[in-house]
Amino acid sequence: MTDQLIIFDTTLRDGEQSPGASMTRDEKLRIARQLERMKVDVIEAGFAAASNGDFEAVRAVAEAIKDSTICSLARANENDIRRAGEAISPANSGRIHTFIATSPIHMEKKLRMSPDQVVEQAVKAIGWARQYTDDVEFSAEDAGRSEIDFLCRIFEEVINAGARTINVPDTVGYNVPEQFAATIRTLIERVPNSDKVVWSVHCHNDLGLAVANSLAAVRAGARQVECTINGLGERAGNASLEEVVMAVRTRRDVFQCDTRIDTTHIVPASKLVSGITGFPVQPNKAIVGANAFAHESGIHQDGVLKHRETYEIMRAEDVGWVANKLVLGKHSGRNAFRSRLQELGIVVESEEQLNHAFARFKELADKKHEIFDEDIQALMSDDGLIVPPEHYRLVSSAFLSETGEVPSAKLTLAVGGKESRVESTGSGPVDAAFKAIEKTVQSGAELLLYSVNAITTGTDAQGEVTVRLSKEGRVVNGQGADTDIIVASAKAYLNALNKLHANQERVNPQI
């Protein structure tokens, strides 16, 4: 058994199956680049046969990413596997992940296939996939509720047919750690050719046990864990990458293995995924929650000041938390800004991007004289690296919010470069601002989500707003950050409208 634990990230596939979390091609690319920087071994970029949008996204990731294996999911049929094979073809290293359900309830009620037919289909699928790549993974969907004898039989056959990784998903999050570990141990012992493959697990979090089940499986011999940033995923989500990685890193004595992950990229990855999907991270979430390293009790604070390890088992900086350091101010120049970005691991790919980001930094520095690393990270994750095709832009704004008066917003908007003034009232200033924008743009889009987050502490903190809009089956997330949360809200709404205007379709690959 090797001591390397392979990290298979499925944020861009299973993570994207969270209702409302689907992503555009460009958003997927940004996340994939961050995963590559983190040294994720395998990136499941999507489900190529789900739609043209998903195919294009997997292909774009396969073209751009050089240091991680790029994988596409495919059902066990010829068409899905052909689309997956074509989508991953530009990758330096490409994998096809094919699956079929193996539990009695799924075979009988969903597939309407006999166990013999399921085995036959699975074996054929491996053969089709091997025409495109040697790196083929097989998943027995709902393995967590499948019969062990049947799992042993199908796994032996797909390994003989050429599968290199065998994945055991607890699709509905039904298992508990001891039981799941026993399943993995039994499979490794009983499948005669089990030594020819890497054993993998994929756990869902319906009972809050996804990480515990994954780690129990690692102790039983699994050497690949499928997981997502922030535990994003179908229903209650998947095992969270940051928790799995930090558990094995911190307790190597228990797990007897480690990953290749550069953990200092974990917090930026979490912020990026949260910003793009609009799914906030709960403050007490392990590793990446805002309170994960905050000591409130006096006794704890005293202990940490005397000797950090009295109450801390990990160092905040090792997972990418940056000290609340005053970094730059309004007099800082472009070079200082560029080198701070480099220190934070933020890659700017062109002078145009740098200029755009620097202009945004100056705008912020005019309003907020203390700029922290977190402000810069927010600035850069809120589409700061992308020079957007801004069809709609907020030029200026005035809001009225006074006791006894009807709240109102007066906006000057640039639409396709032409400025116009518009006014509206509303139930509050944010509502008034959105109504004023709609008066001008008349998008008819439906507002699905509005959320506000403070980026740093203090009343001069920037508010980061996410607005999710839906129109004709397309869903977009817009982000805006500003020290004035009403302005941040208007910017977020316009950012979402710009995405709808630019036709940045969100692909929604539900299986």
Q: How far apart are CA 204 and CA 418, in angstroms?
A: 50
Nearest 5°: the CA angle 359, 363, 369 is 125
The interface region with Zn ion, picked from 8-16, 321-329, 369-377, 456-464 by CB under 5 A, is 8-16
Six-digit token pair at 189? 């012992």
Nearer to ligand KIV (CB atom), residue 47 or residue 361: 47
Nearer to Zn ion, 58 or 327 (CB): 58
Residue for token pair 């809050």 = 208
Q: Which does 141 bind (CB under 5 to 8 A by kind): Zn ion, ligand KIV, none?
A: ligand KIV
Shortest approach of ligand KIV to residue 76 CB, angstroms? 11
Give the separation between CA 77 and CA 247, rounded to whole angstroms: 37
Does 142 interact with Zn ion (rule: CB under 5 A)? Answer: no
Could you give the CA distance from residue 98 to residue 118 in angstroms, rounded to a whole number?
Answer: 13
Q: Which is nearer to Zn ion, 201 or 490 (CB)?
A: 201
The one of ligand KIV, Zn ion, none whose footprint includes residue 498, by CB under 5 to 8 A per kind, is: none
Does 137 help bind Zn ion (rule: CB under 5 A)? no
Q: Residue 8 CB, nearest distance to ligand KIV (Å)? A: 10
- Residue 401 to residue 405: CA distance in whole angstroms: 7
Nearer to Zn ion, 14 or 243 (CB): 14
User: Rounded to an integer, what distance in angstroms lies between the CA atom of residue 385 and that of residue 349?
Assistant: 8
Cβ proximity to Zn ion: between 209 and 490 the closer is 209
- With contacts defined by CB under 5 A, name the span among 11-19, 126-134, 416-424, 445-453 that binds Zn ion: 11-19
CB of 217 to ligand KIV, least distance (A): 14
- Interatomic CA distance for residues 381 and 193, integer angstroms: 46
Nearest distance in Å: CB 208, Zn ion: 16
Residue 99 contact, options Zn ion, ligand KIV, none, Cβ 5-8 Å cut-off depending on partner type: ligand KIV
Q: Of the candidates 368, 367, 380, which has an alpha carbon nearest to the alpha carbon of residue 337?
A: 380
Cβ atoms of residues 16 and 509 within 8 Å = yes
Which residue, 187 or 319, is less far from ligand KIV as judged by CB? 187
* Nearest distance in Å: CB 9, ligand KIV: 13
Helix (H) or strand (E) holding 423: strand 418-425
Cβ distance to Zn ion smaller for residue 14 or 137: 14
Binding residues for ligand KIV (CB under 6 A): 14, 73, 99, 139, 141, 169, 171, 202, 204
Shortest separation between residue 167's beta carbon and Zn ion, angstroms: 10
Least separation in angstroms between residue 145's CB and Zn ion is 14
- Chosen from Zn ion, ligand KIV, none, partner binding at 139 (C-beta under 5 to 8 Å by type): ligand KIV
Report d(CA 401, CA 306) in Å as an integer. Answer: 48
Amino acid at 93: S
Q: 373 touches which of Zn ion, ligand KIV, none (CB within 5 to 8 A by kind)?
A: none
DSSP conformation letters of 124-147: HHHHHHHTT-S-EEEEEETGGGS-
**Helix pair angle (25-37, 266-277), 10° resolution:** 170
Of 407 and 509, nearer to ligand KIV (C-beta) is: 509
CB of 234 to Zn ion, least distance (A): 5
* Per CB under 5 A, 170 contacts Zn ion: no
- Residue 263: name its binding partner from ligand KIV, Zn ion, none (Cβ under 5 to 8 Å by kind): none
From 163, 151, 148, 45, select the one nearest 101 (Cα to Cα): 151
HSE value, Cβ hemisphere, 13 Å, CA-based, for 436: 33
Q: Which residues contact 228 (CB under 8 A, 6 or more apart)?
A: 9, 10, 11, 14, 15, 237, 238, 239, 240, 241
The smaller minimum CB distance to ligand KIV, of residues 97 and 468, is found at 97
Task: Give the residue, chosen from 5, 12, 14, 180, that forms a contact with Zn ion under the rule CB under 5 A.
Answer: 14
CA dist 428 and 405 (Å) reads 10
464 binds Zn ion per the rule CB under 5 A: no
Q: Which is nearer to Zn ion, 143 or 328 (CB)?
A: 143
Strands (E), 36-109: 42-46, 69-75, 94-101
Report how many residues bind Zn ion under the rule CB under 5 A. Answer: 1
Contact flag: residue 243 with Zn ion (CB under 5 A):
no
Q: Least separation, in Å, of the C-beta of 289 and ligand KIV?
A: 25
175 binds, among ligand KIV, Zn ion, none (CB under 5 to 8 A by kind): none
Closer residue to ligand KIV, CB minimum distance, 80 or 156: 80
Q: Does 16 bind Zn ion (CB under 5 A)?
A: no
Kindly state the smallest distance separating residue 42's Cβ from ligand KIV, in Å: 13
| Integer angstrom CA distances of residue 270 from 173, 284, 296, 456, 468 | 23, 14, 23, 16, 19
Cβ at position 12, least distance to ligand KIV in Å: 13
Q: Please give the structure tokens belonging to residue 93.
A: 């290293």
Length of the chain as a residue count: 511
Q: Interface with Zn ion by CB under 5 A: which residues?
A: 14
